[in-house]
Amino acid sequence: GAVVSQHPSRVICKSGTSVKIECRSLDFQATTMFWYRQFPKQSLMLMATSNEGSKATYEQGVEKDKFLINHASLTLSTLTVTSAHPEDSSFYICSARDLGTGVVVTYGYTFGSGTRLTVV
């Protein structure tokens, strides 16, 4: 089945630094990937839609200059949290949409294992 790998699984960084999170589709091509954020004991909130070869589209209230998304290939999207602050500490999760087999519609959208970001 479709597998999405996310790296790193955990990262601790100092306030003011930048952190890059990778999302890879391992056995399928993904023209579109989605980035979610989840605060403790809360639901997942969509941050942005990452489109291969074009600019990401951001949900209302998400700062595009702070959360840089690059989708340079059909199997990799990266999310860079720039000038991270403690309030950015969260669980970041990506999901990927299969290029066109239709399987993903039947079996749901494949999620990565998530990245726990802690900014100190």
**Contact set with another protein (CB under 8 A):** 4, 6, 32, 34, 41-46, 49, 91, 93, 95, 97, 104-114, 116
Alpha-carbon span 92 to 38, nearest angstrom: 6
The residue (of 71 and 114) whose beta carbon lies closer to another protein is: 114
Burial of 7 by CB count in 10 Å (0-12 exposed, 13-18 middle, 19+ buried)? Answer: middle
3-state secondary structure of 40: coil
Residues 6+ apart with CB under 8 A from 7: 21, 22, 24, 115
The residue (of 15 and 26) whose beta carbon lies closer to another protein is: 26
The residue (of 82 and 111) whose beta carbon lies closer to another protein is: 111
Q: C-beta of 105: minimal distance to another protein in Å?
A: 6
Backbone angles phi, psi at 88, to 5 degrees: -85, -10
Q: C-beta of 88: minimal distance to another protein in Å?
A: 18
Q: C-beta of 74: minimal distance to another protein in Å?
A: 15
